[in-house]
Structure 1
Amino acid sequence: MTLLFRTILLLLLGCFLPENALAFQPHAYSGLYIHQLAHFFLIVSLFFFTVKARQTRLASLKAWQYIIAGTWILILWSGATMIGHFLDLEIENSMHLPPGTEISHLYLRGWKETLYYILKLDHLLAVPAMLFFHRGLTLLRKGESTLSSPRQGHP
């Protein structure tokens, strides 16, 4: 059985055995501080990665341009998720409903709740970042990492 077939089989099985798919997970206080610190270190390390990658000749390769773009989007994702975790502590507990609860209408009491629900859509940043990474790595694997048009100010 090939790896691709196994992966597709597992994904299909997952469709028939669904669990709750929550955007960002609530954390206990002690776990939250460590988790937020991890988000911060991810942002810092990805920032230095992109700066270093842009300073090399790799930035002129099309594949690496995709990877660098995905890295910038992942930095935005991590920052948005950090803010969402902080807002999770600020908003009232009434915002957390048990699974399966029907909501007849959504009443947002202020900007914190509104921003919290907007940030819950973090997959709108994470998925494109992963697609950029995938595209860049696919080009590298195929050996199609051609030079793009030269950037101004760089030889």
Structure 2
Amino acid sequence: MKKKIWLMMLVCLLGMVSSSHATQLHGNPEGLYVHQVSHLFFACCMAILIYWLRVRDLIRSSGWRYIQYGALFFIVWSLDAALAHFLDEQMAETLTVRAGTWHIRMETANVWLGWLYYFVKLDHLFCAPGMILLYIGLKKLHLQNFTQEEEHGEAI
């Protein structure tokens, strides 16, 4: 019964959402510069993580392999979000008009630039799988450590 009540509350909450924006705008110019550099720094850190996972041959374990895949998604997400922020600043001449709940209309001088802008704004399609893969990897490592503790009867 409690599960049904929680499920009904969740469905109601999901139905009451308002506009959300996948990428955030920052104060000019310092906020944007720092944020852009942080995206590039994060992508480099994830690349270094993948490098060390491979050098130390940790990817033999399925948990570390999932973490590696998550890091790869985080690299793509970070570069995608950096490009989205860049295009936000460069596309001053682009007009985005909300044409309904599920539709927007974009007027821009370059059609291909409008399509690129649209697709890079879908950065959550890279970030969410990265978080899920990171969670699965951490869970597998935890379960692997837990079973090793049970076999040896002590904490590792």
Per the normalisation by structure 1, the TM-score is 0.74
Work out the number of aligned pairs and report it. Answer: 137
Residue ranges of structure 2 left out of the alignment (5+ in a row)? 1-5, 147-156
1:150 maps to none
2:87/2:117 contact within 8 Å kept: yes
2:154 maps to none
2:130 maps to 129
1:69 and 1:27, CA in 2 relative to 1: closer, same or farther beyond 3 A? same
Which of structures 1 and 2 has the larger relative contact order (alpha carbons within 8 angstroms, sep 6+)?
1
1:106 and 1:48, CA in 2 relative to 1: closer, same or farther beyond 3 A? same
Residue ranges of structure 1 left out of the alignment (5+ in a row)? 1-6, 146-155
Separation in structure 1 between the aligned mates of residue 20 and residue 104 of structure 2, nearest angstrom:
21
1:138 and 1:10, CA in 2 relative to 1: closer, same or farther beyond 3 A? farther
Correspondence list, 1:72-111, <5 A: 72-92=72-92, 94-96=94-96, 102=100, 105-110=105-110, 111=112
- CA-to-aligned-CA distance 1:111-146 (integer Å, 9 cap, x gap): 22211111111111111111111111111121189x
- CA-to-aligned-CA distance 1:17-68 (integer Å, 9 cap, x gap): 5242211112222211111011111011111111011111311111110100
Separation in structure 1 between the aligned mates of residue 43 and residue 82 of structure 2, nearest angstrom:
10
Letter in 1 for 2:82: M
Per the normalisation by structure 2, the TM-score is 0.74
1:15 maps to 14
Letter in 1 for 2:138: L
2:24 maps to 25
The structure whose residues are more often strand, as a share, is 2
Letter in 2 for 1:119: V
1:4 maps to none
1:43 and 1:96, CA in 2 relative to 1: closer, same or farther beyond 3 A? same
